[in-house]
């Protein structure tokens, strides 16, 4: 499942912003419990305007937020059938070694 979600993030990044994520970047994925979906979406939307990619009516939606300093560094929310949500983070090798770089 993680491999599939990582491949989706790479494809969505190209579709959403014409950015190809370099192979050395780290992609981490995880599931968000349904009771936290609304809260996490609202918190992410509160940080900055989100980008969106949709496929079909309630089949698949994604929202993403890119870092100003590096458009490859991003946070993604993936929503399937309006019920199952996953998150993904994409970070450079440098940021993976120094997490404070992601927050700058």
pLDDT tens per residue across span 45-57: 887 777 777 777 7
Which percentage of the chain shows pLDDT scores above 70?
93
**Dist. CA 17–CA 51, nearest whole Å:** 9
Give tens-digit pLDDT for 55-78: 777 788 888 888 888 878 888 999
Q: How many domains does the chain have?
A: 1
Residue 71: CB atoms within 10 A of its CB come to 14
For residue 99, name the pLDDT band (cuts at 50, 70, 90). low
Q: How far is CA 96 from CA 33, 81, 103, in A?
A: 25, 32, 12
The pairing of strands 60-66 and 26-32 is unpaired
- Identify the pLDDT of residue 98: 66
Provide the residue range defining the domain that includes 25: 2-103
Q: 0.85 exceeded by the pTM? A: no
């Amino acid at each position: 499942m993680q491999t599939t979600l990582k491949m989706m993030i790479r494809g969505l990044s190209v579709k959403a912003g014409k950015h190809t994520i370099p192979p050395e970047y780290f992609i981490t994925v995880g599931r968000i419990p349904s009771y936290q979906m609304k809260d996490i979406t609202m918190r992410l939307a509160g940080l900055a305007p989100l980008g969106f990619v949709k496929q079909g009516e309630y089949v698949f939606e994604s929202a993403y937020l890119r870092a100003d300093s590096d458009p490859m560094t991003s946070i993604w929310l993936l929503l399937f059938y309006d019920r199952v949500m996953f998150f993904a983070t994409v970070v450079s090798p440098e940021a993976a070694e120094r997490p404070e770089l992601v927050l700058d």
